[in-house]
Structures are given as structure tokens and as C-alpha cells.
Structure 1
Amino acid sequence: MAENANNPTSTAADAGAVTTIVATVQEEMKPPQESSKEAPIAVDRTRLVRIIVGAITILTFLLSLPILASIIWLLYMKGYDCESLLRLPKLQIGIGVALLFVFLISNLVVFLRAKVHALGLLVVMVPLILMLTMGLALVDAYKNESKAVIGSPTWLKDKVYRDNYWNYIKSCIYDSRMCDDLAARSLGLKPDDFSARKLSPIEFGCCRPPVICEMDYVNATYWRRSDHLGIGSGEAGDEDCDTWQNNEDVLCYDCLACKDGFLKVIRNKWWRLGLFLVLMSLLLIVAHLLLFVATVWERFGGM
């Protein structure tokens, strides 16, 4: 003890060694403290990725529900009776079955997204693109090219205006007694009251003469020609004015206005269906692309 006390050099060396050891220990303790700060950040990032993926998954599933509702509507809602003459009920069933396939494929890909993310995207895109193509055809986006697509406006117009098809269609309209029902509902109405009455496109085009003919109203299916109206005067609408007859078996069933009315009824239905197919296919395509990106991010970049 005395020797150490009398040796200041040894004491200073020991103090320096202790200081070095303490500094080393402090230096070694710093990295764990920094990594402990980074750990919550990594956990928060992983949690955020999972929340985003879960939200997109739920969104994709919810977007498929309107497709299921449209399937029920297509398979169980009865169309206009005379549509069967144009094979439209078969098309209605075919689209319903195809939409059921899209619904199942879409949700299967969502369920198996973690296992087949790339293959699943490819599989679901094929029916969605076909769905988009069919929808564009039904809204007449292709014009002349959609003439071959059953149910498209161009196809419907071509069939309705063909005499061989129209003969069957007008017989179907006549057998439905639509004009007789209109006459029964309009008994006792004055001309102004009848003019203010809202008629369906078929009632307006088939059961009464065109407005341009300026005939005098007697009842819903009987109209008297005005004295100033000449036949074959060359004005627009003369063809329908000449075609009109007060005979209940004839009326305006051969008028262009009658064909236009029938065409409007069925075209509106299929145009709305086409618009629905376009919107739903685009939304599902975007949703599945986002789900694919989020899944890849979760698997390779977010962990």
C-alpha cells in the first residue's frame, strides 16, 4: 500500500484505465439505445401497411356486392314481353351467369391475394376486361363495330327497323292490348287533359298519331284529321300521318314513331346495364391494381 501511494505514475495509469473502461462501456451502450428508438418506427410502418392492405381488401369486396345485386336483378326481373322476339332474355341470362363468374373470381383473388398476388391479378383482369368491353358495346361506344353485339343500340335499331322482325313485334304489342288499356283509362278526358297525361314511349308512338300531324282529339285511339292538313304535303312526319288509321287494329303500329317508342323502351334498359358494366369493371380494375401494389409492398417493402 505504501508503495502504491508513493508511486504517482501507477496511480495515474490506473485512473486512466478506469476512465477508458467507462468510456468503452458507455460507447457500447449507445447503439442499443438508438435501435430501441428505431424499433417503434418499424412497428408503426408495418402496422400502417397492414391497415392499408386491409382497407383495400374490404373496399374490393364491397365493390363486388353491386355485381351480386345485378345478377339477382338480371335473373329474376321480368323484362318487357316482346323482348323475347329479339332473343334478349337469353342475353340477359348469359350476362347474369358471366357476372356471377366475375364475382366469384374477384373474391377468390382477394382471399388468396398473399399466395397468388401476381397470378391472381392476371386471372381477375381477363374477365374484368371482357366485362368492360361488353359494357362499352352496350352503350354504343364502338358504333358500327357494335352492330354484331346483341343488345347494343346499333344491333337493336337494325333488328327493330327490319320489316320481318317488326311484323312480329307489332303483333306482340297489339296482343298486349296496350292501346285498349290506354283508351279505357282515358274515357271522359278532354283534349287538354289527355295532352297533359304522361304516356309511355310505346303508347305515345303506337296508340296515337304524331303531334306534328295536328289531328283533333276525339278519344285516346280516335283522332280526326284537321281540315288544313293535307296528305303528301312533303312536310316532316307526313309518312306517319298518312300511315295512321282510326281502325283499332291498325292505329300507328306501322309508324316510325311506334318503332322509335319500342326501341327507346328496350334500349334504355340495356344502355343502363352497359353503363353499369363499364363503371363496375373500371372500379374493380383499379381496386385490384391497388390491392396488388399494397400486397407486394406488405410482402417485400413494408416488413
Structure 2
Amino acid sequence: MGFSNLLSGVLNFVTFVLSIPIIGAGIWLAKQHNTVCVRFLQWPVIIIGVFILLVSLAGVFGAWCRVSCLLWLYLFVMFVLILLLFVFTIFAFAVTNAGAGQALSGKGYKEYHLGDYSAWLQRRVNNPSNWNTINSCLSDAKVCNGLDNQYPTLAQFNASSLTPIESGCCKPPSSCGFAFVNATYWNESGTTPPASADPDCKVWSNTATDLCFNCTSCKAGVLQEIKQDWRKVAIVNIVMLVFLIIAYSVGCCAFRSNRRNGAYGGGYGKQSYP
């Protein structure tokens, strides 16, 4: 076995092992309470991870067994995979680039606005069919349960570090000027002029199953947590992409070595002699 074949096999075995964290990242996304309701986000990660796993296995057998036809197929598919992973990673960074929480004076938590996020993500959550599913899922997950016991006073609530979903879905926006009763129950105080009030103020409901789940701030909170999770997955993808490019380069050397030695048919019985 030539050095390039051996190295290609080793690198593809490493790539095979590294594909497991990609699949794991997709499964992790599927189990996050903020993304379990958004099925269009985690499946591409899982599919790419499984694809990398299968392609890496083909590369291992093609290099170590000197099966040139399998190695050629591996290189072609690997090139397509690298291109897809590169495009997907750029896309993930692009759609999650915009959007950030707004710090509030005297508050430990931030608030989020839907218009700050990318148009692509906004379209996903603004689609009535998508949001009805997400809304129902978040309500069933009871993401706001326990906040009233956890932060019984206004001072404790203001000092809290709410998650983006808790901030956007479990309370009205601060601009509404509602009076605190508990973390999930607020009364209108009449201090905010109607002309300048956030439209979410009219959507807010003290009903435990409604709260602010239909607010644009809730959609923004969902997108913020998705953004945070996707950024973590995108970093894993970048590491994987580097290894794939290295493995592909070495695989090209192995394929040229096989051709140079006349191993077009490949296999264990095909040997070349000086």
C-alpha cells in the first residue's frame, strides 16, 4: 500500500469519527426546547453528518483496498459534499449574522425585536402555518412555567437572566409599562401612550396558555436562541470542512498513485511490479 493510500485511509477514518459530532450536533439541536419546535433547522445538519459518515467509509475502503473505481466515486462525492458543506456553513452564518438582544437599564435580561433578524428567518416564523406549530409546541413545552415562583418580586425579576424565549414569550415588552403582579401576570397601568405602544402590548394575555406566544417579541426570542445554537453547529462544521478538504487532497494523491501503478480495477489481487 502506497503512503498516500495509507494516509488517505487514515484521514478518512478520522473524518468518519468526526462525522459523529456532526450527527450529534443535529440530534442536540433536535432536543433543544427552542429548536424542537422548528423542524426545518436541525434535519440538514443530521443529513450532512450521515452523508459524511458514509462517504468517509467509502474513502477508507477505496484507499486501503486500492479500489480505484470506488476511490474515484469517493472523490467525486467528496467534492460535492465539501461544496454543499461550505455553502451550508456560509448560509448558516449569513442567516444568523443579524439580530442581538437590546440591553435595558436596570434589567438583567435583554429584549429582542423581530425586525433585527435576517429576512429568511423572519419569513420562516411569520409563515402562519409554521408559527402555529411553533406556538403550540412552545405552549405545550410549558417554557414559562415556574417563573412566578422563581422570581416572586419585581426586584428579583428585574435582576434575572431570562433566556431569549422567556424574555420574548413569557412577559410583555417593557415599553408597554404594565404593572408587575408576578413574572407571568401583568396589569395595564395606563402609563404608556397608546400611540407609542408596542403592538405586542395588545397581544399580551395573562392567560397562562397565551401570554405573549403570539407576540413578535416571542418570534424574536425563538430566533435568538436558534441563532445561538446554529452558531455552535456552524463552528463544528468549519472544523469538519477543514478535515474534509485535507482528506480530499490526500485522496486525490492516492487516486493518482493508483493510476500510476495501473490499479484501475483495484482490489487485493491487483499488484504492480517494477
Classify the TM-score, shorter chain.
0.5 to 0.7
Q: Partner amino acid for 1:179?
A: C
Change over 3 Å in CA distance of 1:103–1:273 after alignment to 2: farther
Q: TM-score, normalised by structure 1?
A: 0.62
Is 1:240 the counterpart of 2:205? The answer is no
- Count of equivalent residues: 238
Alignment of 1:290-301 (within 5 A): 290=250, 292-293=252-253
User: Which of 178, 184, 194 is residue 143 of structure 2 equivalent to?
Assistant: 178
Is 1:107 the counterpart of 2:70? The answer is no
Say which SS state the counterpart of residue 181 (structure 2) adopts.
Answer: strand
Partner of 2:168: 205
Q: After superposing the two structures, state which structure 1 stretch, 289-298 or 266-275, moved more.
A: 289-298
Residue 76 (structure 1) shift: 7.5
Residue 217 (structure 1) shift: 2.2
Residue 220 (structure 1) shift: 0.5
Is 1:98 the counterpart of 2:48? The answer is no
Partner of 1:21: none
d(CA) in 2 for partners of 1:190, 1:168: 33
Change over 3 Å in CA distance of 1:209–1:110 after alignment to 2: farther
Q: CA RMSD in A?
A: 3.8
Say which SS state the counterpart of residue 179 (structure 1) adopts.
Answer: coil
Partner of 1:285: 245
Partner of 2:18: 66
Say which SS state the counterpart of residue 17 (structure 2) adopts.
Answer: helix
Is 1:167 the counterpart of 2:167? The answer is no
State whether residues 136 and 142 of structure 1, in contact with CA within 8 Å, keep that contact through their aligned partners in structure 2.
Answer: no
1:118-177 per-residue CA deviation (whole Å, 9 max, x = no partner) reads 83544532332233233333333799xxxxxxxxx7554312112332223222222222
Unpaired runs of 5+ residues, structure 1, are 1-48, 144-152
Say which SS state the counterpart of residue 139 (structure 1) adopts.
Answer: helix
Q: TM-score, normalised by structure 2?
A: 0.67
Q: After superposing the two structures, state which structure 1 stretch, 290-299 or 120-129, moved more.
A: 290-299
Change over 3 Å in CA distance of 1:278–1:157 after alignment to 2: farther
Is 1:222 the counterpart of 2:185? The answer is yes
Change over 3 Å in CA distance of 1:99–1:157 after alignment to 2: farther
Partner of 1:194: 157
Q: After superposing the two structures, state which structure 1 stretch, 99-108 or 289-298, moved more.
A: 289-298
1:25-73 per-residue CA deviation (whole Å, 9 max, x = no partner) reads xxxxxxxxxxxxxxxxxxxxxxxx95x9866764554344221232245
Change over 3 Å in CA distance of 1:213–1:84 after alignment to 2: closer
Partner of 2:82: 128
Residue 99 (structure 1) shift: 3.0
Q: After superposing the two structures, state which structure 1 stretch, 102-111 or 191-200, moved more.
A: 102-111
d(CA) in 2 for partners of 1:109, 1:136: 30
- Choose between structure 1 and 2 for higher RCO, CA contacts under 8 A separated by at least 6 residues: 2
State whether residues 109 and 124 of structure 1, in contact with CA within 8 Å, keep that contact through their aligned partners in structure 2.
Answer: no
d(CA) in 2 for partners of 1:134, 1:239: 35
State whether residues 137 and 274 of structure 1, in contact with CA within 8 Å, keep that contact through their aligned partners in structure 2.
Answer: no
Partner of 2:123: 158
Partner of 1:231: 194
Alignment of 1:6-155 (within 5 A): 58-59=10-11, 61-75=13-27, 78-80=30-32, 83-84=36-37, 86-88=39-41, 91=44, 93-112=46-65, 119=72, 121-140=75-94, 155=120
Q: Partner amino acid for 1:216?
A: A
1:222-278 per-residue CA deviation (whole Å, 9 max, x = no partner) reads 223445322222xxx611233223333432122111011122233433443344334
